[in-house]
Homo-oligomer: A and B are copies of this chain.
Amino acid sequence: MVTIETKQHPAWDVYKATCPTRQVLDCIADKWAVLVIGLLNGGTRRFGEMRKSIEGVSQKMLTQTLRSLERDGIVSRRVYASVPPKVEYTLTPLGQSLAGIVESLRVWSESNIEVVLASQQTYDARPEAE
């Protein structure tokens, strides 16, 4: 039996410290990124819209998150040369392929929050908890 290795990717392994996948995971396994991608999964959004929708994001963090996602090819940014400025963000096809996963993360959180909250209470009530 012959193992056919048709241009197998060079054994990417996110558990290796220097693997570039680690950086990508770092970027998408992020609170704000998850919320941003989830939002954009509903369609193109303007910056200000997103700022309002995602309660608690500062302008800076939103910008930063979007830049990072843009760099990774997950969202695309479209600037209209108007005054005041108008900037639209959209998921790229790559981003769309990620959106489902990220959305299921969000859904999991919303579905299992009761269990989690109960567990937290039990944990915090342990005698050795301060």
Q: Which residues of A contact B (CB under 8 A)?
A: 9, 12-18, 20-22, 24-26, 28-31, 33-35, 38-39, 53-56, 70-74, 94, 97-98, 101-102, 104-106, 108-110, 112-120, 122-124
Copies in the complex: 2
A114 contacts which of B9, B26, B30, B109 (Cβ < 8 Å)? Answer: B9
A101 contacts which of B35, B105, B118, B119 (Cβ < 8 Å)? Answer: B105
- In the complex formed, the residue of B with least CB distance to A18 is B55
List B contacts of A119 (CB < 8 A).
71-73, 94
Assembled-state Cα–Cα distance A31/B104 (Å):
17
Assembled-state Cα–Cα distance A46/B127 (Å):
25
A120 contacts which of B28, B72, B101, B110 (Cβ < 8 Å)? Answer: B72
